[in-house]
Each structure stands twice: as structure tokens, then as C-alpha cells.
Chain A
């Protein structure tokens, strides 16, 4: 059997606002990937919405560029909005 393509699965939970990556699976096409994701990753009522993306279609940052990409922001503590009082009725930020 030819290997089916790999799909990355994202689930939006009961109360979550965004889809989160939960894992991956193999399926012959997108529709079957959604069905398989339903069976593999939402058996315990985890989700209200499913996204699947072909793993091959994801462009990732290179691990070797970790330094130049991420380390500069370590020294910029003023980018965290911790210096402001947030009114309670703003809700989740």
C-alpha cells in the first residue's frame, strides 16, 4: 500500500476561541482526514470544530535560526504589557 499523506489536526475545544494543534494522522484525502480526526481526537467530546492541514503544506521556521529569530526579543521586556492596569471589564486579552 502506498503511504497516505500526513495531516496535522487542529481542534477548537468547547470553550476555546482558537483551534489548537492536537496531533497528526494519515488519510487519503481531506474529507477522510476530517472523519478520522473526529474518530481519533474527539472521542471524549473534546471539540466543536476540526481543521486538517496537509503536513507538507506547512512552512516551518528553521530550528537553526532560533537565535536570530527569537533571542532578540528576550531583552525587550517593555514589549510585555505588564506596566498597565487592565480594567476588569476588558475581559480576556
Chain B
């Protein structure tokens, strides 16, 4: 597989986790109950830990002397390759959980498939990450069911979150040249091959949660090739502030 394409493929994996991890970390100290606050912080830390592995490998593949920190803190929005879903604003607690659920339902099958990657470095990271993400999916699935099939108020909020986020749920399954190159090299499966598992899990969960799956087929895309919503700029402004204002500052 061409080095540039592999680099970009790895940036996608890292950036999805980095941006979602940052979004979830915004809840730290603000979740509705202590138990959820700690759980959210754990998920955010898992995602950021996985980011370090993916971006370190990306930097190694790029071979230009950058490391994971430089990739995280010194790229501008146009060079980020995360899907648009993960940069969506948190909204209320239910909205954050719905976004997590839609992502986790893709993330776990994706990591499971990557464990048999022709690139053993990718397989090793995927194997480690899959254990964490299996728990993320279990947790977000449980919460979607309980809040969807909860009170009138929680049901209304979860349905609104689902309707709002649905058009962002399909980008990860739309292949482009990078995905096709990765599939041809046996590095990763074609994105659409992950769709049946996602469809099945999401449909079963929404049915149990008494939520209506939106009919709409239109899906936003662009994040994977660096075309983002305005939200990413604000995320980076906060996340990268320290390294931008005090270049090279160390803990």
C-alpha cells in the first residue's frame, strides 16, 4: 500500500478517536451523576489512549520526524480526517450517548476486522483497542435502551438526538480511493462490508429502546477527506491552545 494512502488511513483512525475523545472529555465534572461522570471520563481516556497508538504509527509511516503529539496539536482543521459524526456538539446527555452509540456500533466491528490486517502493527493496535471498545458499545447500547424506553421526557430527547445525528451516521461506510487502496492491500476491509453488522445492532437496539429509525437516506460526508463543519475549528482552538501559544511546552 502506498505510504501516503496508509498515512491518511491511519490518520482517520486516530482522528476519529481524538476528536470524539475530546468531545466526551468536555463532560468531565458536568455529567448528571457521579457514576456517569467517571464512566464518561473513562471512555474519553480510552479513546485518547488509542489515538496515541494510531497517530504514533501514522507518524512512523509518514517518516518525516513528526510524532503523535505533533500530529494531534500542530495540524489545522483541513488536515484532520475524522468523520463528521464525532465533531457534532455534545448537546444534552442523551445526545452525547446517542452519538457514542452510533460511533461504537461502527468502531467495534471495524476493530474486529482490522485484527486480521495484513499489517501486523495495525492488527496489534486493533486487538488492544477492541477490548476497550467492546465495553463502550455495551455501555452505550444499555443507556440508549434505558433512556429510549424510559420516561416520556427521556424518550423524546433520545428520539430527537437520533433524528439529528442520523445523517452523520453513514460517512464511515462510504469508500473513497484511500479505503479502496487499503482493501486492495488487505490492510482493512472495504467500509461497506461493516454495514450489515452495524445495521443489525442498531436496528435491534432502537427497537428495544422503542425509538423510530429515521427513514432518511441522505448522509453528510467530507470529514474523511478534510472538509469539516465549523465545529472542528472550535474544538482545535481549545485542544491545541497550549502548544500553539507556548510551542514545545512540556508537562
Task: Decide: A40 near B35, CB < 8 A? Known: A35-B138, A35-B139.
Answer: yes
Q: Complex formed: what's the CA distance from A36 to B35 in Å? A: 6
Given contacts A26-B34, A36-B38, could you give 11 more A-B pairs where the C-beta distance is less than 8 Å?
A1-B32, A25-B35, A26-B33, A26-B35, A35-B138, A35-B139, A38-B135, A39-B38, A39-B42, A40-B34, A40-B38
Contacting residues, chain B, for A36 (C-beta < 8 A): 35-36, 38-39
Contacting residues, chain B, for A35 (C-beta < 8 A): 39, 138-139, 142
A80 CB–B CB distance under 8 Å: no
* Interface residues of B, Cβ cutoff 8 Å to A: 32-36, 38-39, 42, 135, 138-139, 142, 146
Cross-chain pairs A/B with CB under 8 angstroms, 12 sampled:
A1-B32, A4-B33, A28-B146, A32-B142, A35-B142, A36-B35, A36-B38, A36-B39, A39-B38, A40-B34, A40-B35, A40-B39
Closest A residue, CB atoms, query B139: A35
A43 CB–B CB distance under 8 Å: yes
Q: Complex formed: what's the CA distance from A45 to B35 in Å? A: 18
Q: Complex formed: what's the CA distance from A35 to B38 in Å? A: 11
Contacting residues, chain A, for B34 (C-beta < 8 A): 25-26, 40
Nearest CB of chain A from residue B210's CB, rounded to whole Å? 16
Nearest CB of chain B from residue A32's CB, rounded to whole Å? 6
A-B pairs with lowest CB-CB distance, top 6: A36-B35, A39-B39, A39-B38, A39-B42, A40-B38, A25-B35
Q: Complex formed: what's the CA distance from A1 to B38 in Å? A: 19
Range of interface residues on A (Cβ < 8 Å): 10 to 19
Number of A-B contacts (CB under 8 A): 32
Contacting residues, chain A, for B139 (C-beta < 8 A): 35
Contacting residues, chain A, for B142 (C-beta < 8 A): 31-32, 35
Closest B residue, CB atoms, query A4: B33
Contacting residues of chain A (1-46) with chain B, CB-CB under 8 angstroms: 1, 4, 25-29, 31-32, 35-36, 38-40, 43
Nearest CB of chain A from residue B185's CB, rounded to whole Å? 37
Nearest CB of chain B from residue A15's CB, rounded to whole Å? 22
Q: Complex formed: what's the CA distance from A27 to B33 in Å? A: 10
Contacting residues, chain B, for A27 (C-beta < 8 A): 35
Closest B residue, CB atoms, query A29: B146
Q: Complex formed: what's the CA distance from A29 to B34 in Å? A: 16
Nearest CB of chain B from residue A7's CB, rounded to whole Å? 10
Nearest CB of chain B from residue A46's CB, rounded to whole Å? 14
